[in-house]
Amino acid sequence: MTKIGRVLLIATLGCTVLAVLIYRLYPILNPLEPLLDGQSNRLLLSNQDQRFALVSPEKPVRLPHDFSIHPEYQHEWWHVFANVRDEQGQEYGVQWNYFRVANDNRQESGWQNSQLFLSHVVISNAHQVWKEQRIARGGIGQADMIQSPFRLWIDNWRWRSLGSSPLPSQLMIETDTFGVSLQMVANGPYILPGQHGYQRRGAKDAMASYSIYAPFISVNGLLQLSPEMNAIPVEGEAWVSKEWGSGLLGEEQLGWDWFVLHLDNHKILTVYRHRYRNKAPYLYGTLATRQGNTLVLSAQDIDISPLATTTLTETKILPLQWEISVPSQNIHLTTQALNPNLWLSFALPYWEGPIKASGSHQARGFMQLTGY
């Protein structure tokens, strides 16, 4: 065989081996695949076969321990949202979501680990949106959490503090085109919504999760909106929350509408509206003070309805203006999105962004809409 023939044979064998490796390893190396195929909802539906741990009111939330990962549960979600302003008064929304989703209850290390991690960062003002998504497989160090000191990361995106509590802390996100660095300090206590952190999300007991809120946070930091621009100093208020459980969606659930509003009397109003097929929405919420007083709100306490829809695309029409009332607390608000163009077509798609409200109070906050 000639030298050229040997080279061609080696190259052919090399390509064949590489093709076989890619074919065999593709399901492992591509963690997004289970979410993007026709079975994507499987990861989000209720825990019908009870492979994962059940959420129960008999197991109270513990602080700060329960900011850690709970691999025995199917889903986990950390959320940071900040309403900030620059020195000229320009308003921005900064949001960072970090999801853990398990497609199996096996807790193995390395490439056999069943955990998927997804993270989204979004910065917006009234006219522009900067966004990016990261996805990682568990078990290989690309994404994970350490309890003490608190560390939560995916690639070079990280949220960290010096102690076991996530506050005070620093959030640092860098992409190829933009970035954000925020220092976060708590100005009030953690809030455990519902029944000491146990919160039903539907009429059935199986539809429930655990939650922790940190609604009173001061932030300051820098927004880097372009590699060619100087970083923009900002400051404002933030919200941090943690939720976990098994079964994010019920079989008949269409989605949910979530509102968090910092009222001008220094209270925080949170309202959830879970939408179901052929059923009335399931409503609940909280009204919290900086002193730690919390009023649990049920459907009897809340009036909420969409006022107007906005057409974003031919197939995407969303209710971006709402009327929210808690009559017993003399709260009557009309909300408005600061930038309507915040439908986020990530692996887990949703609309989320900053809102303002007027009426009985002036308010700033955020809204999340899923299932539209």
**Count of domains observed in the chain:** 1
pLDDT at 49: 52
DSSP H or E stretch at residue 6: helix 3-29
- Its pTM stands at 0.87
On whether residue 137 sits in a domain, the answer given is yes
Q: Any residues with CB less than 8 A from the CB of 28 and at least 6 apart, and which?
A: 111, 137
On whether residue 27 sits in a domain, the answer given is no
| Mean pLDDT value across residues 198-211 | 84
* pLDDT tier at 22, thresholds 50, 70, 90: very low
| Mean pLDDT value across residues 338-343 | 97
* pLDDT tier at 313, thresholds 50, 70, 90: confident
pLDDT at 110: 72
* pLDDT tier at 271, thresholds 50, 70, 90: very high
Domain that holds residue 155: 33-369
* pLDDT tier at 195, thresholds 50, 70, 90: very high
On whether residue 7 sits in a domain, the answer given is no
**pLDDT digits 0-9 by tens, 81-116:** 999 999 999 999 999 999 999 887 766 677 777 899
* pLDDT tier at 320, thresholds 50, 70, 90: very high
Residue 211 sits in a domain whose CATH number is 2.40.370.10
* Greater pLDDT, 287 or 347: 287
On whether residue 3 sits in a domain, the answer given is no
Tell me the backbone φ, ψ of residue 175, rounded to 5 degrees. Answer: -120, 180
Quickly list DSSP for 21-54: HHHHHHHHH-TTHHHHSTTGGGGTB--TT--SPP
On whether residue 289 sits in a domain, the answer given is yes
Query: Is residue 317 pLDDT above 80, yes or no?
Result: yes
Cα gap 305→308, rounded to integer Å: 9
pLDDT at 85: 98
Which amino acid, residue 140? I
On whether residue 306 sits in a domain, the answer given is yes
CA distances to 179, 248, 343 from 100, rounded to whole Å, are 22, 12, 21
On whether residue 52 sits in a domain, the answer given is yes
Nearest residue to 210 via CA among 118, 75, 120: 75
On whether residue 222 sits in a domain, the answer given is yes
Query: Is residue 76 pLDDT above 90, yes or no?
Result: yes
